[in-house]
Amino acid sequence: MFEFGEGAAGSYVSQATQQRVKRTAVVLTALLVAVFVTIPVYVMIAIAVQSPSSAFAGGSVQLFVDSLSFENFRVLLTETSTPRYFFNSIVVTASSTFLSTVIAVAAGYGLTRFDFTGKTLMARAVLFAYMFSPIVLAIPLYVIFYTLGLLNSYFALTLALTAISAPFTIWLMWQYFQTVPIALEESAWVRGASRTRTIWDVVLPVARPGYISAAIFSFAVSWNDFTMARVVMSQDEMYTITVGASLFLDRVSIGWGETMAASLLIAIPPFCIALFLQNYLLQGFNVGGLE
């Protein structure tokens, strides 16, 4: 945000002025966000819920919805493989989210609770891996999966997606576990709880905001992924919804209306998650140093 100096007091600008500047900045930012996010989303919804004939009547896009129609969704769900794509997306997203979160919790716990040689190196490598764009990993992974005969499998795509999300989730959990006082665990040990029991009873409940953030992040990566799915999956029945929807544009029988309807469907799960789990998301990312 716009702030002059460290805080309100002690700067040359009066606090009232700072307040005004802050408020103006917030409003401006909100407007910018609205222009770049809300308007496209609105266009998407508007096209999706009108029948193609009324949406594009008169040669221009009809942005004021006057007749609701679920024609686009009907076409999408009955005449295309959208349900199949959705199913594929759900399978790989769920498995990758689970895998990435489990890896992150295990790695975060290990990195903060045990001393071993090469620990710093490993931690840096994790962060370094996060700098790669997915496409850098995609080609080598393709070669590997091809050699192993794993192309067109949920298993391969799950691994590929985890490779993209895990560096960040590991880093997140590593940071998060640093804020969980080890005295909590020690106190459980002294009271007779084994290390494993302590992890279930104490560590995991306390780390919950952390791993929920990690899970949300890996969910977002997997659900929205295009690159990996495009590279690993080459059969129509194995496509995820993102790849499938992008292919609609190449087909004559499927128009903008259906494509927007597909986009709307894609957007619903992330939207729900952001809506219901935002508190956890903020808690987890605050600790990770992101605000």
Partner 1 sequence: MASPIRLDSIRKEYSAAGNTHVAVDDLTLEIPAGSFTTIVGPSGCGKTTTLRMIAGLETPTAGTIHFGDRDVTDAPPQDRNAAMVFQSIALYPHMSVRENIGYGLKVQGVDEAERDRRIEEAAETLQITAQLDKMPSELSGGQQQRVALGSAFVQDPDVLLLDEPMSDLDAKLKAELRVEVQRLHKELDATVVYVTHDQTEAMTMSDHVLLLEEGELAQFAPPGDLFDHPVSEYVARFIGTPSTNMLPATVEATGDGYVLTDGQFSVPVPGDLFADRVGDDVTLGVRPQYLDRGGGSHGVRVRVDVVEQLGTEYVVHGETTDGSKIDVVVADDAGLATGEDFDAYFEPDDLFVFDDGGDTICHGDALSQSQPA
Interface positions with partner 1 (CB under 8 A): 181, 183-184, 186-194, 197, 201-202, 205-206, 208
Select 111 or 238, whichever has its Cβ closest to partner 1. Answer: 111
Least separation in angstroms between CB 197 and partner 1: 7
What one-character DSSP code corresponds to residue 289? T
Least distance (Å) between residue 195 CB and partner 1: 9
* Closest to partner 1 by CB, 144 or 202: 202
- Other CB atoms closer than 10 Å to residue 12's CB: what's the count? 7
**Rounded Cα–Cα distance for residues 89 and 223 (Å):** 7
Alpha carbons 195 and 97: distance in angstroms, whole number: 26
Q: Compute CA distances 84 → 166, 175, 240, 241, whole Å.
A: 27, 38, 8, 8
Residue 93 or 198: which CB sits closer to partner 1? 198
Instruction: Name the DSSP class of 207.
Output: T
Q: How far is the CB of 113 from partner 1 (least distance, A)?
A: 13
| HSE-CB of 67 using CA atoms within 13 angstroms | 9
69 versus 283: smaller Cβ distance to partner 1: 283
Whether residue 210 contacts residue 280, with contact meaning beta carbons closer than 8 Å, is answered with: no
Which value, in Å, is the radius of gyration of the alpha carbons in the chain?
24
Q: Which is nearer to partner 1, 161 or 215 (CB)?
A: 215
In whole angstroms, how close is the CB of 185 to partner 1 at the nearest point? 9
Q: Measured from the CB atom, is 71 or 185 closer to partner 1?
A: 185
CB of 206 to partner 1, least distance (A): 6
Shortest CB 194 distance to partner 1, Å: 6
